[in-house]
Amino acid sequence: MTLEVIVLAAGAGTRMRSGLAKVLHPLAGRPLLAHVLDVAAALEPRRIHVVVGEQGDDVKACFADYPKVSWVTQQPRLGTGHAVAKALPLVAADATVLVVLGDVPLVHTGILADCVRRAGTGLALVTAELDDPAGFGRIRRRDGRVAGIVEDADASEQERAIREVNTGILAAPWALLADLLGAVSADNVQGEYYLTDVVEIAVERDVPVVALPAPQAEEVIGINDRAQLARAERYRQRRLAEALMADGVTVMDPARLDIRGRVVAGRDCVIDVGVVFEGDVTLGSNVTIGPNCVIRDSTLGDDVEVRPMSCIDGAAIAPGCLIGPYARLRPGTELGEAVHIGNFVETKKASLGAGAKANHLAYVGDAAVGAACNIGAGAITCNYDGVDKHRTEIGSGVFVGSNATLVAPLVVEDDAYVAAGSTITSTVERENLAVGRGRQRNIQGWTPPARRRDGKGA
């Protein structure tokens, strides 16, 4: 069987009250449409056809590199039936067509694959039971069988009491769908061509119609406003947290964890409250993440501890490291085993060898720091001259005293010492002590300003 997918993504999203196309609003760190396209692609269709509207150029630009996608512009927008009709000429005549919505990001492959399988020579659609069905098309049944779908705007009071709703997901052979769409009219309150009308037409023609109730309504319901988006976000985050816990991770409060990308974690990790993961994050075993940390596109080895309020972005952290609290690791940071990066320490494009320490208020940027070094409180690498960035090379076993200023380009060789408060501008040879500060001078008989204001000075 050949499968092709039509994704309806032309809606204006007026209830979002945004200049951003609705399908580009993020859920779990990615556009709504990205989730739908990933699920559709998992079915291995021959092609995916995405119908876009007024903000189509923005949507296309966001997914310019996505494979197997053809774009269809619906202008003017005359309803969902019109949108599918615009895409059908691009679909192979021997294909089964699956129609999904670009604003249903929680749908999974299982229900879609079942819908395609059950279509056969007829029509299959996915429905859901809602406690509050307002705004959704209702499923009308006769003797237990689907008789049609009535849109909310056209429904009677009795029909509005129906809790089974249309999700917008359906499948049918190409020839059947094309024939049914040809019989759809715009004789309704909205003056639009409803895709849902194909159901009643199919019933009238004795075409088999199968309704598949979704096991979880949240997974097949579209997002129309920001409140619904927030509810979908929490549902998605809860499922992601549950998946981590199933893999042996302790999540202190699943309601206060955000995964905006992909997290792979070993066993016995502990994730405290308020943690945000973005991009691709890999955690080894026995990793502990303290409260209110942000970790993005990074790899953390076994037994790493990240203390509260730390931000890790684009870093590779070897086993046994201790990070934070209040540490900031920027892209290009590489830490060897058992490195300590303490409070208010920032690193950028910096490598620190095994056992190195920068425990307080330091900046290490565009630098290579050898094993077993100590970077004192307030020490910084001056890597930027106003135009270009320069490197600092620090050997192994180096001690850099507090408030030292290392002006790059600079080399500090193995086992050297830099005295506290020094400004270092030239190479420090192996085992040397570098002192780069003005000579202290004590002035006797000096009158403090307060005494001068009181007239008590000399």
| CB contact at 8 A, 199 and 183 | no
Which residues are registered as beta bridge partners of 69?
Answer: 48
pLDDT score at 457:
55
Exposed e or buried b per residue across 84-100, where buried means at least 16 C-beta atoms within 10 angstroms of its C-beta: bbbbbeebeeebbbbbb
Residue of 169, 15, 163, 173 whose CA lies nearest to 80: 169
Alpha carbon separation from 146 to 133, 138, 198, 222, 279 (Å, rounded): 17, 11, 12, 21, 43
Cβ neighbours of residue 274 closer than 8 Å, sequence gap 6 or more: 256, 291, 292, 293
pLDDT at 295 over 60: yes
Going by pLDDT thresholds of 50, 70 and 90, the confidence category of residue 440 is confident
Look at residue 309 and give its three-state secondary structure. Answer: coil
In contact, 308 and 292? CB cutoff 8 Å: yes
Q: Is residue 232 within a helix (H) or strand (E), and if so which, with residue range?
A: helix 226-246
Count of other CB atoms within 10 angstroms of residue 429: 12
Q: Helix 80-87 to helix 174-181 angle, to the nearest 10 degrees?
A: 130
CA 148 to chain CA mean position, Å? 38
Phi, psi of 15 (to 5 degrees): -75, -10
Q: Which amino acid is at 214?
A: A
CA–CA gap between residue 397 and residue 83 (Å, rounded): 68
| Alpha carbon separation from 350 to 187, 217, 377 (Å, rounded) | 67, 48, 17
Run of H or E including 65: none
Closest CA to 329 of 285, 365, 280: 365
Q: Among this protein's residues, is 108 annotated catalytic?
A: no
Q: What is the CATH number of domain 239-389?
A: 2.160.10.10
Among residues 25, 35, 49, 360, which one is catalytic?
360
Going by DSSP bridges, is the β-strand pair 340-343/363-369 parallel, antiparallel, or unpaired?
A: unpaired
- The answer for 351, left when phi > 0, alpha when psi is -120 to 50, beta otherwise, is beta
**297-338 per-position pLDDT tens digit:** 999 999 999 999 999 999 999 999 999 999 999 999 999 999
The percent of residues above 90 in pLDDT, for the chain, comes to 90
Architecture of domain 2-219: Alpha-Beta Complex (3.90)
pLDDT of residue 189: 82
- Kindly report, residue by residue over 186-220, the tens digit of the pLDDT: 988 888 999 999 999 999 999 999 999 999 999 99
Q: What percent of the chain has pLDDT over 70?
A: 99
Domain range summary for the chain, segments of one domain joined by +: 2-219, 239-389
Provide the sign of the torsion angle of the four alpha carbons 19, 20, 25, 30, taken in this order: negative
Q: How far apart are CA 287 and CA 322, in angstroms?
A: 10
Rounded CA gap, 383 and 339, in Å? 22
Contact 89, 70 (CB under 8 A): no
Q: What CA–CA distance (Å, rounded) separates 163 from 128?
A: 8
Mean pLDDT, all residues of the chain? 95
Pairing state between β 123-129 and 164-173: antiparallel
Say if residue 402's pLDDT is above 80: yes
Angle at 211 between CA 205 and CA 213, to 5 degrees: 170
DSSP 3-state of 224: coil
Split at pLDDT 50, 70, 90, the class of 403 is very high
Cα 399 from chain centre = 40
- Which phi and psi (to 5°) does residue 199 adopt? -65, -50
pLDDT at 246 over 60: yes
| Model confidence, pTM | 0.89
| pLDDT, position 257 | 98
Distance CA(102)–CA(100), nearest Å, equals 7
Q: Are 200 and 209 in contact (CB under 8 A)?
A: no
Distance CA 393, CA 410 (A): 6
Q: How far apart are CA 150 and CA 178, in angstroms?
A: 21
Judged against a pLDDT cut of 90, whether residue 455 lies above it is answered with no
Which stretch of DSSP H or E encloses residue 288? strand 288-289
